Chains A and B, each alone.
Chain A
Amino acid sequence: MKKSKFSLLLILTLVFSLILSACSGGDNNAGEEKPEDGEGTTGETANVPQELRMLDSSEIPTMDTVLAEGSTSFTYINNVGEGLYRLDQNHKPVPALADGEPEISDDNLVYTFKLIDSKWSNGEAVTAHDFVYAWQRAIDPATGSPYGPYMMGGKIKGAAEITELGAAKKEYDLNTLGVKAIDDKTLEVTLEKPIAYWQDLFAFPTFYPQNQKFVEEKGEAFASNAENLLYNGPFVMEKWEGTDATEWVLAKNPDYHNADQVTLEKITVNVVKDSNSAVNAFEAGETDMTGLLSSDIVPSYEGDERMLSWMEAVVFWIKMNQKNEALANVNIRKAIAMGFNKEDLTNSILNNGSVAANYFVPKDFVTLDGEDFREKNGDIISFNAEEAKKYWEQGLKELGVDKLELRYLGGDTEAAKKTDAYIKNQLETNLPGLTINLESVPFAVRLERDNAMDYDLQFAGWGPDYGNALSFTDLWITDGGSNRMGYSNKQYDQLIKDAQGKLATDEKAQWEAQQEAERIMLEEDAGLAPVYQRAANILLNPNVKGLAIYNYGPDYSFQWVTIEGEE
């Protein structure tokens, strides 16, 4: 009996010592700025295993190109599949399955692509019919693709009509979509109107081909796991147990037509949703690459060569609902747009490399002959407390009131609440008589209220889907699907209409029209209050070279990644 008591004590002591060692360790190490350098891998310079271990912050919601709608899906689809075009290391779309550039009709509406020889992972050739099938499937209302109609509507001939008929529960004919297989190797695409960014469009995963026989044979099981997928890209999915899998493995595709460009043999991805945990895993040498870091972690890696930072093409702004009588007043809008210090917000509160935005087309997004879109327009509407107050007083006078109360719709995350509280405080301080009532709601609720225009001010953001400023400028055309704040300016509409249509083939003129539109929208109308452009940060093992990072569609391409030995 004494023995049993002793063993109980022994178990207790062990448990205690484990807990206490964890706690006491905290005091000893708390002062350390950074964990020691050096990853788990040993210093070999030759024969380094070409394996990348990385973390992602979300499961893959779908690998069906037609149903995909988020960057996680797009990222892996882009790495195991391929369309007519592919984004290269510099974000530029280059011919992939298209054999060089297409033949374009004089009116810039009909594109005839010749296809190169390439095959699916089951050995079958990729043909023009595979494109026709996938595109028709993407626009078919019965499929319920979220991105198909969004990417095709108003761009590919007949797409919008099919969506309309489908919504009205009327009959539609998928063959009216502007895509035709002339033969196995020739694809004809008819556009609704000339499109400046057609190459970007055809590089987008929604426009990838699908093998009809395979998809129909698999039925419901199609794309449900690694076995029920076909691949024609640089990698294949060696392991992926389905949409809720938190680990998946990609392996080099020996049958890829550009296989000699691919060095990486294997990519292991694990889902980690907590940024601190991802950093711990990185420091413990369990991974070579983290997902995006939360902004509270970024300052502690300032200057560390293992942190990779870049400017995303994502801009956050305050939408002002111009159906609201007060916000219909341009002086009130100008006062709000100028009435808060954005630099302090990005430097002190966000502190992750994000920069104050005095524009809505981001910088480092599109360039023409080496010139950034932002160079001409620069800062259009920036913080100026004095000016803001003047506009404010003028606006109040015009409205015949001396105070205003506005509802401010924002996110419910800790970071969003901090930002929103700061903006509220700034605006209330700089604009006497203004009261802002914060309404913090989950993202899904914000989307719905945006749709119903049920807000006065709304903190929102936008990331592009193709590499043209139109991805931002066409948001604000009168009654545009994403406008949802009642902004309307005929001159603006005309400029964007021209940029989308008659100037589509003249890149310079197309740019200038959009730059002028942006100036009108912000400088003259203060239709929107831009806040900041977001920076992204990840931890990456310095041995990993050649990672391509994109600012629309997929997040990364691993096609050119190599793992080098340590020096």
Chain B
Amino acid sequence: MAKYLLKRVLYMFLTLFIIASLTFFLMKIIPGTPFASANKLGPAQMEIMKAKYGLDQPVPVQYAKYIGNLLQGDLGISFQFNNTPVTDLMFKRLGPSMQLGAQAMLLGTIVGIVLGILAALRQNSWVDYSSTFVAVLGKSIPNFVFAGLLQYFVGVKLGWFPVLFWRGFEYTVLPTIALAMLPIAIAARFMRTEMIEVLGSDYIMLAKAKGASFFEIAFKHALRNALIPLVTVLGPLAISLMTGSLVIEKIFAIPGLGEQFVKSITVNDYPVIMGTTILFAALFVVIILVVDILYGIIDPRIRLSGGNK
């Protein structure tokens, strides 16, 4: 196990290094200027600005410097936010994105799993139809539509929750619901299909024959096996939720990473593009590892050290 983990961690660093390098060179190919006032800068001034940000040097030199600084944990300073270190910018923004994503993930998974289980247990009843209806809504309608509806009707009209901003738990309610719609839909659909399949298998028949209760069959025997494919899907989804949703953050005025990342690309803020990509990639590889470990916990038949000949 320890050997396996060590190997995986080493691969993680290698993956990150490759991603960082690829992103660096791809980013240099993106056309456009990183200077907001570029149409007002004369040639001499442009030279000065390029020198200030080290853009006057050949790309391989810039790359070597960047990787050197990266190894020391220095991600550089942002072009659009003068003198602000990228690490400060990112970590301040990461908090709200992570909290919102985690809440949406939690709400989405719990509600989705419950909906899926109920639908499977009460197949072809109104419970099943309602659950499917919610899943179809969540999957087919983009979350900014839910966000707009929630904001206007629940926030402005009913006044139950604040419309905007990020100042306390009550401010997180509407964006969390809006963001949770997709995980609800995904979890419900997967759970229903898997549960129906598992419930039809021989060992469930056996459990039924042995007189196990309805609850025992559903939660003790079926759920565990039905969870495996779900974990596979929800891992990457968790990343996309926790690294910030551009639209939800914009609509609810949440100071998160999603909006910042997209803006950094449109304004060619190279250090922020790099920093955020590396951070997202790091989260991604960690989550993949966590998912692999979870497989083993959910189903001990899956051996983490397997295949090590």
- Interface set of A (CB-CB < 8 Å, partner B): 1, 4-5, 8, 11-12, 15-16, 18-19, 21-23, 25-26, 29, 35, 59, 61-62, 64, 67, 69-70, 141, 144, 146-147, 149-150, 153, 163-164, 166-169, 220, 223-224, 242-247, 270-274, 276-277, 280-281, 283-284, 286, 441-445, 447-451, 481-482, 484
Tell me if B42 and A147 are in contact (CB < 8 A).
Answer: no
Residue among B41, B149, B255, B267 making CB contact with A26, cutoff 8 Å: B149
| B259 contacts partner chain A, Cβ-Cβ < 8 Å | yes
Known contacts A19-B134, A146-B40, A442-B32; 16 additional CB pairs below 8 A are: A8-B118, A12-B115, A25-B157, A26-B152, A64-B83, A70-B36, A167-B45, A242-B84, A242-B88, A243-B89, A244-B81, A244-B260, A443-B266, A444-B33, A451-B38, A451-B39
Among A163, A246, A449, A451, max chain B CB count under 10 A is at A246
Does A61 contact B267, Cβ atoms closer than 8 Å? no
Query: Beta-carbon contacts of B153-168 to A below 8 Å, as 1s and 0s?
Result: 1111111001111100
For the complex, is B49 an interface residue (Cβ under 8 Å from A)?
yes
Determine whether B169 belongs to the interface, using a CB cutoff of 8 Å to chain A.
no
Q: A146-B49, A286-B162, A447-B39 are in contact. Are A243 and B153 (CB under 8 A)?
A: no
* A448 to B266 alpha-carbon distance, docked (Å): 13
Provide the residues of chain A in CB contact with B37, threshold 8 Å. Answer: 69, 146-147, 150
**Residues of A with C-beta under 8 A to B260:** 244
The answer to whether B82 touches A481 (Cβ under 8 A) is no
8 Å CB contact of B36 from A69, A144, A482:
A69
Task: Contact check, B164 vs A277: say whether CB atoms are below 8 A apart.
Answer: yes
Q: Contact between B251 and A447 (Cβ–Cβ < 8 Å)?
A: no
| Shortest Cβ gap from B171 to chain A (Å) | 11
Chain B residues whose CB sits within 8 angstroms of the CB of A450 once the complex forms: 39
Q: Per a CB cutoff under 8 Å, which of A64, A69, A144 touches B52?
A: A144
Residue of A nearest to B265 (CB): A442
Q: Identify which of A64, A166, A169, A270 contacts B253 (C-beta below 8 A).
A: A270
- Tell me, yes or no, whether B239 is within 8 Å of chain A by CB: no
For window 152-207 of chain B, which residues contact chain A by CB distance below 8 Å? 152-159, 162-166, 177
What B residues does A70 contact at CB under 8 A? 36
CB distance from B76 to the nearest CB of A (A): 14
Contact residue among B40, B88, B165 (Cβ-Cβ distance under 8 Å from A482): B40
B83 and A67 contact, CB distance less than 8 A:
yes
Chain A CB within 8 A of B308 CB: no
- Residues of chain B within 8 A (CB-CB) of A144 are 48-49, 51-53
CB nearest neighbor in A for B80: A61
> How far is the CB of A219 from the nearest CB of chain B, in Å?
10
* Contact B250–A280 (Cβ < 8 Å): no
Instruction: List the 9 closest A-B pairs by CB distance, nearest first.
Output: A144-B52, A444-B32, A167-B44, A25-B153, A243-B81, A445-B32, A62-B82, A167-B47, A246-B255
Interface string of B202-219 (1 = CB under 8 A from A): 000000000001010000
Rounded to whole angstroms, the CA-CA distance of A448 and B30 in the bound complex is: 11
Known: A224-B83, A242-B84, A284-B159. A482 touches B115 (CB 8 A): no
Q: How far is the CA of A481 from the CA of B49 in the complex (A)?
A: 16
- Total residues of chain B contacting the partner, CB 8 A: 68
Q: Is the CB of A21 within 8 A of B154?
A: yes
With A64-B82, A146-B49, A273-B253 in contact, is A281–B32 under 8 Å at CB? no
A447 to B38, CA, bound (A): 6
A-B contact pairs, 5 of them (CB 8 A): A62-B83, A144-B49, A146-B49, A167-B45, A451-B39
Do A451 and B33 touch (CB < 8 A)?
yes
Supposing A284-B163, A450-B39 touch, asked if A15 and B44 sit within 8 A by C-beta, the answer is: no
Per-residue 0/1 for B91-106: is the Cβ within 8 Å of any A Cβ (1 yes, 0 no)? 0110000000000000
Q: Is B34 an interface residue (CB 8 A)?
A: yes
Cβ of A214 to closest chain B Cβ, rounded Å: 16
Residue in A21, A146, A244, A443 whose CB lies within 8 Å of B89: A244
Q: How far is the CB of B166 from chain A (nearest CB, A)?
A: 8
B111, B115, B152, B213 — most chain A CB neighbours (10 Å):
B152
CB within 8 Å: A-B pair count: 197
How close is A413's CB to chain B, nearest CB, in angstroms? 10
The verdict on A12 contacting B155 (CB below 8 Å), with A146-B36, A445-B32 known, is no
Is B245 in contact with chain A by the CB < 8 A criterion?
A: no
How many angstroms between the C-alpha atoms of A149 and B42 in the bound complex?
Answer: 9
The residue in chain B whose Cβ has the minimal distance to the Cβ of A24 is: B153
Distance in angstroms between the alpha carbons of A21 and B159 in the assembled complex:
13
Question: Chain A CB within 10 Å — which of B52, B82, B115, B158 has the most?
Answer: B82
Q: In the complex, what's the smallest C-beta–C-beta distance from B122 to chain A, in angstroms?
A: 11
Nearest chain A CB to B308's CB is how many angstroms away?
Answer: 42
Measured between beta carbons, the chain A residues less than 8 angstroms from B307 are: none
Among the interface residues A166, A223, A245, A484, which one has the most CB atoms of the partner chain B within 10 A?
A166
Does B34 contact A444, Cβ atoms closer than 8 Å?
yes
CB neighbours of B41 from chain A (8 A): 146, 149-150, 481
B213 A224 Cβ-Cβ under 8 A: no
A61 cross-chain contacts in B, Cβ below 8 A: 80-82
Residues of A within 8 A of B92 (CB): 242, 244
User: Are B153 and A26 touching (Cβ within 8 A)?
Assistant: yes
Whether A146 lies near B35 (C-beta < 8 A) is yes
| B32, A29: Cβ atoms closer than 8 Å | no
B136 interface residue per 8 A CB criterion: no
Q: How far is the CB of B112 from chain A (nearest CB, A)?
A: 11
Measured CB to CB, the closest approach of chain A to B19, in angstroms, equals: 23
Contacts of A242 in B (CB 8 A): 84, 88, 92
Residues of A within 8 A of B111 (CB): 11-12, 15
Inter-subunit contact A272/B253 (CB<8 Å): yes
Q: How far is the CA of A460 from the CA of B268 in the complex (A)?
A: 19
Q: A21-B153, A286-B162 are in contact. Are A277 and B251 (CB under 8 A)?
A: yes
Closest to B153 in A: A25
The answer for the CA separation of A144 and B267 in the assembled complex, in Å, is 18
Which among B32, B115, B149 is the interface contact of A22 at CB below 8 angstroms?
B149
- CB contacts (< 8 Å) of B215 on chain A: these are 1, 4-5
Residues of A near B34 (CB, < 8 A) are 444
The reply to whether the CB of B66 lies closer than 8 angstroms to some CB of chain A is no
Tell me the bound Cα distance from A61 to B80 in angstroms: 6
B93 touches A244 (CB 8 A): yes
Q: Are A444 and B83 in contact (CB-based, < 8 A)?
A: no
Residues in A with CB closer than 8 Å to B259 are 273
Partner of A447 from the list B32, B49, B51, B150 (CB cut-off 8 Å) is B32
The 8 A CB mask of B234-263 against A (1 = contact, 0 = none) is 000000000000000011110100011000
**B163 and A150 contacting across the interface, CB-CB below 8 Å:** no
Residues of chain A within 8 A of B78, CB atoms compared: 243
Query: Is B31 at the interface (CB under 8 A from chain A)?
Result: yes
Within 8 A of A (CB), among B124-164: 130, 134, 146, 148-159, 162-164
Q: Are B39 and A444 in contact, CB atoms less than 8 angstroms apart? A: no
Contact status of A243 and B84, CB under 8 A, knowing A11-B114, A12-B111: yes
Contacts A147-B37, A167-B48, A445-B31 known; A19 to B177 CB distance under 8 Å? yes
Tell me if A448 and B33 are in contact (CB < 8 A). yes
Report the minimum CB–CB distance from A8 to chain B (whole Å).
6
Most B CB within 10 A of own CB, among A166, A276, A277, A442: A277
Q: How distant is A326 from chain B, measured CB to nearest CB, in Å? A: 24
B163 / chain A contacts, CB cutoff of 8 Å: 277, 280-281, 284, 286
Give A442 to B157 CA distance when docked, in angstroms: 37
* CB-contact partner of B82 in A18, A35, A67, A164, under 8 A: A67
Contact A280 B164, beta carbon cutoff 8 Å: yes
- Closest residue of chain A to B77 (Cβ to Cβ) is A220
Are A163's CB and B45's CB within 8 A? yes
B82 x A274 contact (CB < 8 A): no
Are the CB atoms of A272 and B164 closer together than 8 Å? yes
Q: Is the CB of B150 within 8 A of A22?
A: yes
Is B156 within 8 A of A280, CB to CB? Answer: yes
**A8's contact among B39, B114, B157, B165, by CB below 8 Å, is which?**
B114
